[in-house]
Amino acid sequence: MPTATSKKAHVDIEIAEFVGQFYADPFNFVRCAYPWRQKGPLETYDGPDIWQADLLKEIGREVRSRKFNGTDAVLPVRTAISSGHGVGKSTLSGWLTNWIMSTRPHSQGTVTANTFPQLASKTWPAIAKWTRMCVTAHWFEVGASKIYNKSFPDSWFVTAQTCRAENSEAFHGQHAARSTSWYLFDEASAIPDEIWAAAEGGLTDGEPMIFCFGNPTRNTGKFHRVVFGSERDRWKQRTIDSRDCRFTNKTLIEEWIADWGEDSDFVRVRVRGIAPRAGDLQFIPNDLVWEAQRRLPQSLPDDPLIAGFDVSGGGAAWNVISFRRGYDARSIPAIRIPGEHTKGSDRSAMVAKLAEIMSDTRPEHRVSMLFVDAAFGAPYVERLKSMGFTNVIEVSFGAPSPDRHCANMRAYMWSKMKTWLEHGAINTSTVLEMDLTGPGCDRNRSDKLVLESKQDMLKRGVASPDEADSLALTFAHHVAPPEATDHADRFRNSMAGSWMG
């Protein structure tokens, strides 16, 4: 006759097998591990919001791509979310905590927030609430600052820690070589860099993970760098607009916008989830970019399609190809290819992509001219010309400017782009927005415009503006309408033999 203890053990085995199938699938874990639509706190809810579902699926893809074998360490899963207020970050924190704790025996985690009140009254209570509703709730003891597995309290747990810089020692020494060492930072914009640095030490073995959420209250610091700045290419990051979320207070949001203005720092941070404005030396102001994102694209039938190719030298920088027709730089999305894919001497894949673009004969996609950054792009220009493409021009950012008011070609192209933005239309990509507003500017001794170099931007934690540079390349030289040459040829032919000839 089975005893109560053996029955309980059998049930736990079934639950372990059930949740184990979601090891690399946090989205379906969330769908199946909680009592959605059942009597109780979740009876009026049917699952995650759209943005939460998309993020959970992306995390699952990241886990699967690493193929952790239980022994050999893999790269950390790094996820950063910058958002407005009320989008459901605390709820997501609870889900991720339960997913890791339920599917990874002997995982060890640390949760922190920008202030102790935030941690004690919002982040940790949300995690505790969802843990108590989880199908694996009876496995864990939920305390005021620690949740641990009842059978393995010293090796399978998550703790709450304050983020004071002097408490950085508490973030050291967390390791789970055969499982997952993980960190969750809430309201991460105000968490000191010392805490981030300490957490890095716990991401060196096993299958590590780090999740960082917050309102982007600062345009400096680690959180800004991983979402918008120089470290963004090592992270999977998203910006979430409160207006696009299911459960936010839309009426209050409209009041904020009416009172403060849509591109005010208040609305940028608390609604749109993007960083506050940069300093006074910023070359392209935020409002100019914001208006260009909202404006309808305009172009004339004979406006040439111009492409700009900012070439990566490998590593974190991206290869970006942007397209512009007249005042329209939105209708054809930019193409972004990681620099690591073109690192070294093998350029065949990139050449094939460029040839595909240049061979497109559809009227709306026929490129009249491709301008290529000369720093790393000379081999591509040479190869394309050898393939018969004559509408390719190499552009050196450091070359003399056609305009005596600009110190070099880069300053000239950015100056032309800044003027164009007064009437142009661009996409709503946060990456492009941050790229356009990233560089500072100055005047040299000859009173010529000098744009901040990529190297200087990286020193202050601002990302290389690859997408903006590729758009700027479309302003390198004037390009005649595609039909203009045909008209001229016909006119010359019609005049042959006449007195005008």
Query: Are residues 250 and 143 part of one domain?
Result: yes
pLDDT at 497: 43
By residue range, what is the domain housing residue 185? 69-272
Give yes or no for a contact between 400 and 413, defined as CB atoms under 8 angstroms apart.
no
Q: Tens digit of pLDDT per residue, the chain (501 long)?
A: 566 566 667 788 999 999 999 999 999 999 999 999 999 999 999 999 999 999 999 999 999 999 999 999 999 999 999 999 999 999 999 999 999 999 999 999 999 998 888 899 999 999 999 999 999 999 999 999 999 999 999 999 999 999 887 788 888 878 899 999 999 999 999 899 899 999 998 899 999 999 999 999 888 889 999 998 888 888 999 999 999 999 899 999 999 999 888 888 889 999 999 988 765 578 998 888 989 999 999 999 999 999 999 998 766 678 999 999 999 999 999 999 887 766 666 688 899 999 999 999 999 999 999 999 998 999 999 999 999 999 999 999 999 999 999 999 999 999 999 999 999 999 988 889 989 998 988 888 888 999 998 888 888 888 889 999 999 999 999 999 876 444 444 434 444 443 333
pLDDT at 483: 62
Dig out the tokens for 301 from the structure.
Answer: 């039938």
Query: Are residues 358 and 466 part of one domain?
Result: yes
Strand pairing of 157-160 and 108-113?
parallel
Q: What is the CATH number of the domain that holds 305?
A: 3.30.420.240
Domain count, the chain: 2
E-assigned strand segments in 176-330: 181-186, 209-214, 236-240, 305-310, 318-325, 328-329
- Identify whether 34 is part of a domain: no
pLDDT at 422: 93
* 97, containing H or E segment: helix 89-103
Query: Are residues 435 and 405 part of one domain?
Result: yes
Query: Are residues 225 and 128 part of one domain?
Result: yes
**CA–CA separation, 449 vs 164, rounded Å?**
42
- Identify whether 279 is part of a domain: no
Dig out the tokens for 327 from the structure.
Answer: 């005042």
Number of C-alpha atoms within 13 angstroms, CB side, residue 306? 26
pLDDT at 316: 62
pLDDT at 493: 45
Query: Are residues 110 and 206 part of one domain?
Result: yes
Query: Are residues 321 and 232 part of one domain?
Result: no
- Identify whether 280 is part of a domain: no
Domain boundary among 239, 272, 305: 272
Of 248, 236, 392, 250, the C-alpha closest to 311 is 392
- Identify whether 417 is part of a domain: yes
Give yes or no for a contact between 93 and 81, defined as CB atoms under 8 angstroms apart.
no
Query: Are residues 383 and 236 part of one domain?
Result: no
- Identify whether 317 is part of a domain: yes
- Identify whether 26 is part of a domain: no
Q: In which residue are the tokens 């969750």 written?
A: 184
pTM for the full predicted model: 0.72
**CA–CA separation, 125 vs 118, rounded Å?**
10
Q: What are phi and psi of 470, to 5 degrees?
A: -65, -40
- Identify whether 57 is part of a domain: no
Query: Are residues 132 and 82 part of one domain?
Result: yes
Domain boundary among 213, 246, 272: 272
- Identify whether 413 is part of a domain: yes
pLDDT at 489: 44
Query: Are residues 244 and 146 part of one domain?
Result: yes
Q: What is the CATH number of the domain that holds 135?
A: 3.40.50.300
Query: Are residues 298 and 158 part of one domain?
Result: no
Query: Are residues 291 and 267 part of one domain?
Result: no
Query: Are residues 233 and 85 part of one domain?
Result: yes
pLDDT at 218: 84
Those residues whose C-beta lies under 8 Å from the C-beta of residue 188, and which sit 6 or more positions away, are: 80, 114, 212, 213, 214, 222, 223
